[in-house]
Structure 1
Amino acid sequence: MDTTALEFSLPNAAAEPDPFSIADLSPEIRFAVLFFQRDHYCTNCREQVQAVADRVDAFRARGAEPVSVVPEPLDRVEQWQAEYDLPYPLLADEDAAVGDAYDQPVRFGLLGSVSDFLGRMPQIVVLDRSGGEGDPEVVYTYSSNSTFDRPSIDELLATLDDLAADGETTSTDG
């Protein structure tokens, strides 16, 4: 499996920089934690971005920057920012190209690929930027089976602790 992370640039409705790219993160940030959301209307996604915001300091204490990626146009993502005032990047992936590049799960085959509401499932991808040379590496993925299937913030923080301690690549499918 190729674990090299895809570089991308997306519009950012929240914390700088805008546009956002992994390469623009501070060198002190070892991990980028990408939260691929289902869509603008997903209640569980909205709860997750707020839970991450409540614990953003715990992520940053571990040298990690949370980043939410929503497969929607910028104006819809800006509505989330206006409502939740998130202190971390909130990206608009209007055509879901970045979600697709990171293999965000889509259910119901062709029908699911046409309608994010029916098919796109949440996913979490952790990138390790500590290699210094070259691109960041995908070191953890959690691919959900439903909008309810997500690791808790405490589980993610423990995963970051484990990754920092041993650097092993892990993958979990819900």
Structure 2
Amino acid sequence: MESAPLEFSLPNAAVGPDPFSLADLSSDVRFVVLFFQRDHYCTNCRSQVQAVAERVAAFRTRDAEPVSVVPEPLDRVAEWQAEYDLPYPLLADSEASVADAYDQPVRFGLLGDLSDFLGRMPRVVVVDRSGADSEAVYTYSGRSTFDRPEIDELLDVIDEHRTAGGDPPPAE
């Protein structure tokens, strides 16, 4: 599909390496599912991180690591971790540089650029790290704060790419 930028480093408020980089993940992690959130106040984002936490074992059974990226400073992202105790990386992208590198959509033009609350939409990118170069094998760009892929849809995408690469289906 498209080459994914490997080299980024962001502060991590939850489990995993801190600072976090895709390159620092274990070689056992074939897929990284990046959830680009809207902002600290977004109730749909908060619901999504909790739903992913409830299904983290299903991701890991598939050699996949979910990672949420929030375009906020570390102290605000740490509030989510204190409230939800997420069992996967939760990254602070205060400048939204990684979100921009992964083409997280922003609505309302210049006004949306000035305010993440008004303009930043959710995006999910599944990165396959199995080749010589990591590759984004799936992207989903939300058109509203409610427009997000279902977790089962993401797990199906991972399963399709696992079996296409010769890996057996996960044992759940």
Give the TM-score taking structure 1 as reference length: 0.92
SS in 2 for 1:60: helix
Q: In the alignment, what sits opposite 1:166?
A: 164
Deviations 1:75-123 (A, max 9, x none): 0000000000000000000000000010000000010011000000000
Deviations 1:7-28 (A, max 9, x none): 2100000002100000011101
1:34, CA displacement in angstroms? Answer: 0.2
Alignment of 1:6-17 (within 5 A): 6=5, 7-17=7-17
SS in 2 for 1:77: helix
Q: In the alignment, what sits opposite 1:4?
A: 3
1:159, CA displacement in angstroms? Answer: 1.2
Q: In the alignment, what sits opposite 1:63?
A: 63
1:166, CA displacement in angstroms? Answer: 2.2
CA distance in structure 2 between the aligned counterparts of 1:25 and 1:48, rounded to whole angstroms: 22
Aligned residues: 164
1:136, CA displacement in angstroms? Answer: 1.1
Q: In the alignment, what sits opposite 1:41?
A: 41
Alignment of 1:7-156 (within 5 A): 7-131=7-131, 133=132, 135-156=133-154
SS in 2 for 1:157: helix
1:162, CA displacement in angstroms? Answer: 1.0
1:154, CA displacement in angstroms? Answer: 1.0
Instruction: Structure 2: state its 5+ residue gaps.
Output: 166-172
CA distance in structure 2 between the aligned counterparts of 1:26 and 1:16, rounded to whole angstroms: 10
Aligned residues with identical type, % of pairs: 76
SS in 2 for 1:10: coil
CA distance in structure 1 between the aligned counterparts of 2:95 and 2:21, rounded to whole angstroms: 17
Q: In the alignment, what sits opposite 2:169?
A: none
CA distance in structure 2 between the aligned counterparts of 1:51 and 1:163, rounded to whole angstroms: 23
SS in 1 for 2:105: coil
RMSD: 0.9
CA distance in structure 1 between the aligned counterparts of 2:74 and 2:130, rounded to whole angstroms: 30
CA distance in structure 1 between the aligned counterparts of 2:105 and 2:76, rounded to whole angstroms: 22
